[in-house]
Amino acid sequence: MTATLVAKNVAGGFAHRTLFEGLDLTVAPGDVVGVLGANGAGKSTLLRILAGDLEPLDGIVSLAPADAFVGWLPQEHERVPGETVAAYIARRAGCTAATQAMEAAAAALAEPESASIPDPTAAYSAALDHWLATGAADLDERLPAVLADLGLDTDAVRPHSTPMTALSGGQAARVGLAALLVSRFDVVLLDEPTNDLDLDGLARLEQFVRDLRGGVVVVSHDREFLSRSVTHVLELDLAQNTTTVFGGGYESYLEEREIGRRHRREQYEEFAEKKADLVARARVQREWSSQGVRNAIRKAPDNDKLRRRAATESSEKQAQKVRQMESRIARLEEVAEPRKEWTLQFTIGAAPRSSSVVASLDNAVVRQGDHVLGPVSLQVDAGERIGITGPNGAGKSTLLRLLLGHRTPDEGRASLGANVAVGEIDQARADFTGPARLIDRFEEKVPTWSTADARTLLAKFGLRADHVERPVDDLSPGERTRAGLALLQARGTNVLVLDEPTNHLDLPAIEQLEQALETYDGALLLVTHDRRMLQNVRLDRTWRVDNGRVVEL
């Protein structure tokens, strides 16, 4: 079924704060709308409103036809304890809810006397149609081929017995992609779908979006994915408090946005210059008028009525000119000064130079169940910049743990150099998890800092009073990532380890991180599937981890 989703004059946010308002959006079949905006602009809130999971503060959201199937896949993969891979996919694809609704309708049909609905037959017919539309009837038959295609048909991943909680981040990302591939949504709402996907998964996601007949609304920070996939861009501009739809793709949006910003700045500067000129001229006229009257009175004899009258007339003429100038100022069409966007600006703290060899592996082997990494022999030198790529589950994070001494090899040797000061943002953002307040956890990491200095630094990363008092576990993934970046600035490092650092960051923050990496002069180990970051960040070498081996590209 093809469907059209329409939002009219929609406002979103919370009781104490409106994030956006006056939003108009039409998502027709074949449209791929990329939603962009800074962290906190309301992107995920908008998806919840479009999905019907959250009521808008104002406006309406409509769907034609009304019984179309809208699928919303949230940003974080919620792993319910005890839920198997197959059950997770069924829930994410909407099949579980459809099955429960059909079973409830069937129960009401079997006992119409006790049913609370007026027409059990019609309700069952509608529930059955929806159940069939979700693909629940043949999901078990379709699922094995999709999982096999994604490399999830190993002994380590058994769909009907392996719990989601047992999977790695990369495996969970591929299971999330599988749920999307087997779904039969008429309109798809995706929140950061590229997070944790490897290059193969990204290619499959892009192909899925291109082939989809229905409309798609996607929140993403992946610049290459946006460039290849979206047909329109919806910008939620928190600084200007505007919502704007741009036709054309992502690259066209970047050009139009820059032209629009430059035009607004020029309009304001022209207005400000004209107003300042008129105000200055009015001030001069006023001063001339006052000075002329004083001079005429001072110079005229007391009985010289003609000179007094002339002075008065001259004063009135000057006053009239002042009034005319003030009238021109009042008639100027006011142009508001464009509000400056908050931007993340930071540097990576430096530490004294380490030994010439930062880390080395000598025939190191690690075994995790059936997976074996190694034997691996390699060396990282001081100041060397290395990119690390490879499919999900290949062992990239394991390689990092070996190099940093977090994991002892089962065979061979691993050694860390002298005077190594490691700064790390791992994939799980493990430095910032748990029930402690953010400010308390941050001060644990930098015990020599005062509370005031810690709060000031966190504020520079957009983590203000309402953030630092909250438990770390209550922060969004993007907020935890920014806390990790703040820690990199606070603590000196000569070995920087970044494992998927762009996950959950907004586009301006990613660009600022790339700039900070450009000026950083220590050793760098960068694990990322962000294709634009791999192009933009200067690297000396690139390693690929695959099939238990590490090869240099």
In tens, the pLDDT along 412-429 reads 999 998 888 888 888 767
- Angle (CA) 36-37-41 rounded to 5° is 130
What pLDDT is attached to residue 473?
Answer: 87
Q: What is the largest CA-CA distance in the chain?
A: 116
Contact indicator for 552, 398 with CB cutoff of 8 Å: no
Query: For the segment 216-246, what is each residue's pLDDT rounded down to a tens digit?
Result: 999 999 999 999 999 999 999 887 888 999 9
Contact indicator for 374, 412 with CB cutoff of 8 Å: yes
Give the ranges where 394-437 is alpha helix by DSSP (H).
Answer: 396-404
What pLDDT is attached to residue 48?
Answer: 93
User: What percent of the chain clears pLDDT 70, i.e. is strictly above it?
Assistant: 92
Grade residue 46 by pLDDT with cuts at 50, 70 and 90.
Answer: very high
How many helices and strands in the chain, by DSSP H and E?
17, 18
Pick from 405, 351, 359: nearest CA to 521: 351
Query: For the segment 275-292, what is each residue's pLDDT rounded down to a tens digit?
Result: 888 888 878 777 766 666
Residue 62: Cβ within 10 Å count: 10
| φ, ψ at 190 (rounded to 5°) | -120, 130
Grade residue 114 by pLDDT with cuts at 50, 70 and 90.
Answer: low
What pLDDT is attached to residue 88?
Answer: 93
Task: Give dist(CA 474, CA 288) in Å, integer.
Answer: 65
What pLDDT is attached to residue 408?
Answer: 92
Task: Give dist(CA 202, CA 260) in Å, integer.
Answer: 31
Which range in 71-80, 187-196, 504-513 is most confidently predicted, on average pLDDT? 187-196
Contact indicator for 360, 376 with CB cutoff of 8 Å: no
Pick from 450, 542, 32: nearest CA to 245: 32
Q: In which element (H, E) is residue 236 found?
A: strand 232-237
pLDDT at 550 over 80: yes
What pLDDT is attached to residue 403?
Answer: 92
What pLDDT is attached to residue 380?
Answer: 92
Across the chain, mean pLDDT equals 86
Question: Which of 6-15, 243-252, 355-364, 505-514 has the weakest average pLDDT?
Answer: 505-514
Query: For the segment 172-223, what is each residue's pLDDT rounded down to a tens digit?
Result: 888 988 999 999 999 999 998 988 888 888 999 999 999 888 999 999 999 9
Mind spelling out the 3-state secondary structure of 197-218? Answer: CCHHHHHHHHHHHHHCCCEEEE
Q: What is the mean pLDDT of residues 6-11?
A: 96
Question: Which of 6-10, 23-27, 163-167 has the weakest average pLDDT?
Answer: 163-167
Of 353 and 57, the one with more pLDDT: 57
Task: Give dist(CA 490, CA 503) in Å, integer.
Answer: 21
Q: What is the mean pLDDT of residues 378-399?
A: 90
pTM of full prediction above 0.85: no
Query: For the segment 435-479, what is each residue's pLDDT rounded down to a tens digit?
Result: 999 999 999 999 999 999 999 999 888 888 888 999 988 888 788
Grade residue 30 by pLDDT with cuts at 50, 70 and 90.
Answer: very high
Residue 280: Cβ within 10 Å count: 11
Contact indicator for 79, 34 with CB cutoff of 8 Å: no
pLDDT at 300 over 70: no
Helix (H, G, I), strand (E, B) or coil at 327: helix
What pLDDT is attached to residue 119?
Answer: 82
Non-local (6+) Cβ contacts of 315 within 8 A are 289, 292, 293
* Token pair belonging to 172: 């969970």
Residue 481: Cβ within 10 Å count: 24
pLDDT at 95 over 90: yes
Q: Cis link prior to 144 (omega < 30° from 0)?
A: no
Report DSSP state, residue 161: T
pLDDT at 128 over 80: yes
pLDDT at 296 over 70: no
CA distances from 121 to 68, 95, 449, 508 (A): 20, 21, 68, 54
Task: Give dist(CA 115, CA 303) in Å, integer.
Answer: 107
Non-local (6+) Cβ contacts of 116 within 8 A are 108
Residue 38: Cβ within 10 Å count: 21
Task: Give dist(CA 112, CA 505) in Å, integer.
Answer: 53
Pick from 184, 208, 214: nearest CA to 95: 184
Pick from 209, 208, 214: nearest CA to 64: 214
pLDDT at 382 over 80: yes
What pLDDT is attached to residue 99?
Answer: 95
Q: What is the mean pLDDT of residues 521-525?
A: 91
Q: Measured on CA atoms in the order 209, 181, 477, 7, is the torsion positive or negative?
A: positive
Q: What is the mean pLDDT of residues 357-379?
A: 90
Which range in 56-70, 106-120, 488-502 is most confidently predicted, on average pLDDT? 56-70
What pLDDT is attached to residue 297?
Answer: 55
Helix (H, G, I), strand (E, B) or coil at 466: helix
Non-local (6+) Cβ contacts of 273 within 8 A are none
Pick from 338, 360, 121, 72: nearest CA to 219: 72
Task: Give dist(CA 453, CA 500) in Å, integer.
Answer: 28
Grade residue 97 by pLDDT with cuts at 50, 70 and 90.
Answer: very high
Edge-first strand order for the sheet with 357-368 is 371-381, 357-368, 411-416
Radius of gyration of the chain (CA): 31
Task: Give dist(CA 549, CA 430) in Å, integer.
Answer: 26
